[in-house]
Amino acid sequence: MAKFRIWGNRPLQGEITVGGSKNAALPILAATLLTESPSTIHNVPDLLDVRTMIMVLESLGARVETVDRGSYTIYPQQLKPLEPPYELIRKMRASFLVTGPLLARFGKAQVPLPGGCAIGSRPIDLHLKGFAHLGVEVSMRSGYIEGWAEKVHSGEVYLDFPSVGATENVMMLAATIEGETVIANAAREPEVVDLAHFLSLMGAEISGVGSDTVVVRGRKHLEGCSYTIMNDRIEAGTFCVAAAITKGEVIVRGVEYALLRSVLTKLEEVGVQVEKIDEYDVLVAMKERPHATNIKTMPYPGFPTDMQAQFMALLCLADGVSVITETVFESRFAHVGELERMGAKVQVEGRSAVVMGVERLTGAMVTATDLRAGAALVLAGLAAEGMTEVNGVGHIDRGYERLEEKLASLGASIERVSDE
Ligand code: EPZ
């Protein structure tokens, strides 16, 4: 797998526009299967995870055409009630999001269990419970989920946890069921809202999305449509932290300020200058060492778990002790050991990490274990003295498009080195 070679301790300067949201693109690509007619999706980021999702759609018989850079037309007419390939589900858990559409299209689905990953066991019990509340008979057989949906009906689904994926899968199935389905304790993430906008354009009536109670009035036959994906708030947050950790000054363009409020507020708390230029552009500048603060990741609109690792890298350089509590995933601290190789001092106690800030980090050979851990190591390398090599860049390419090029355009000294 390729690696990044970074020469650190250089302030980032300039401006960067973020790309389409990975976590909006994946469910919306899956949702195109809900109808026989084609849909065209714009502003799709060119990421490994997106390519995997396209492979999943094609493995089920859909045809996917590249219309332009970032624009794809999906022709789902020839969709077959096939099983998505295990290796694709294993490679990317979000492939499980085709389950709702398959149940809706064929009244049945047989999908491999996604299994766990580096950040946790990632169960799907809430997806299955949600389907069951809508009349789907679900059984599990040697690593597969089998769902029978001949007798689907509208109803009320309560999610024990506001799971993003479960909300999305249930919403997609409900979008084809006449009558009123209520999803209580639904996820409020902006990417769920983006999916709801797409489903509404297809003909479903959805209200309350973005709150904890979503009401879906579905229609048996939905229509394909054209849609432009929202931009990626986590990519934007990552660049904001990059500006802060390198004591630079960067304008980050393209994401609604409100969607990043929790991250921007925390940056201000540690002494970063954050200036809202307009609704979609923010200036982030830092001159001195960050102060310590405490972070608790929560479902939206709380501090996003997908920004926890990146913010930890910043707090490793703070002038004090910070406590980071990860409430969303049970083991999302794999980046700690790698940050310690760069001189960070972090003590993990269960779901909390105590970060004792140090004056400086030093470059080292480190390895990315998952997408956001990899991003955190790149940020630490940008700030560290000397050279850092981040191995396992494939993890980073899953969620960041041309990260090294974008950082280099801001003055970072970073290059991609393919395996010798
Ligand atoms: C989505 O994952 C995102 N992925 C994740 O982003 C993100 O971290 C996560 O939401 C939380 O915001 C995509 O949207 C493709 P969840 P998802 O279901 O849907 C538990 C990234 O870096 N849970 O909200 O899988 C689960 O174990 C990725 O871009 C159940 O217990 O997240 C976890 O502890 C990483 N049972 C918590 O809920 C279930 O049936 C949150 O999971 C489902 C989830």
Dist CA 268 CA 272 (whole Å): 5
- Weakest mean pLDDT among 95-104, 121-130, 387-396: 121-130
Residues lining ligand 1, Cβ inside 6 A: 22-23, 26, 94, 120, 122-127, 161, 163-166, 187, 191, 305-306, 328-329, 371-372, 399
Mean pLDDT of 321-331: 95
Give 207's contacts (C-beta < 8 A, 6+ positions apart). 214, 215
Query: How far apart are the CA of 130 and the centre of ligand 1, in A?
Result: 15
In this prediction, what percent of the chain has a pLDDT beyond 70?
100
Q: Residue 64's beta-bridge partner residues?
A: 74
Task: Please name which of 333, 331, 339, 377 lies closest in space to residue 356, comparing C-alpha atoms.
Answer: 339
Is the pLDDT at 420 greater than 70? The verdict is no
Query: How far apart are the CA of 419 and the centre of ligand 1, in A?
Result: 31
117 part of the active site? yes
Is the pLDDT at 293 greater than 90? The verdict is yes
Nearest protein Cα to ligand 1, atom 1: 164
Task: Please name which of 257, 259, 247, 262 lies closest in space to residue 314, comparing C-alpha atoms.
Answer: 247
Beta-sheet strands, E only, within 319-369: 321-326, 345-349, 352-356, 365-367
| DSSP SS3 for 275 | strand
Query: How far apart are the CA of 383 and the centre of ligand 1, in A?
Result: 30
Nearest atom of ligand 1 to the alpha carbon of 304? 12
Mean pLDDT of 111-127: 83
Query: How far apart are the CA of 122 and the centre of ligand 1, in A?
Result: 7
Q: Residue 295's beta-bridge partner residues?
A: 324
Mean pLDDT of 334-358: 97
In this prediction, what percent of the chain has a pLDDT beyond 90?
93
Is the Cα torsion angle 259, 262, 265, 267 positive or negative in sign?
negative
Six-digit token string for 225: 């449509």
**Ligand 1 pocket mutation, candidates 163, 332, 335, criterion most atoms within 8 A of CB:** 163
The residue that leads in pLDDT, 294 or 140, is: 294
Query: How far apart are the CA of 163 and the centre of ligand 1, in A?
Result: 6
Q: Residue 143's beta-bridge partner residues?
A: none
pTM for the whole thing? Answer: 0.97
What's the confidence (pLDDT) of residue 294?
98
Nearest protein Cα to ligand 1, atom 3: 23
Dist CA 270 CA 186 (whole Å): 32
Is the pLDDT at 117 greater than 80? The verdict is no
Nearest protein Cα to ligand 1, atom 26: 122
Mean pLDDT of 215-243: 98
Other CB atoms within 10 Å distance of the CB of residue 212: 15
Nearest atom of ligand 1 to the alpha carbon of 370? 22
Please report which residue ranges of 107-146 form alpha helices under DSSP H: 125-133
The mean predicted confidence, pLDDT, of the chain is: 96
- Weakest mean pLDDT among 143-147, 184-188, 258-262, 393-397: 143-147
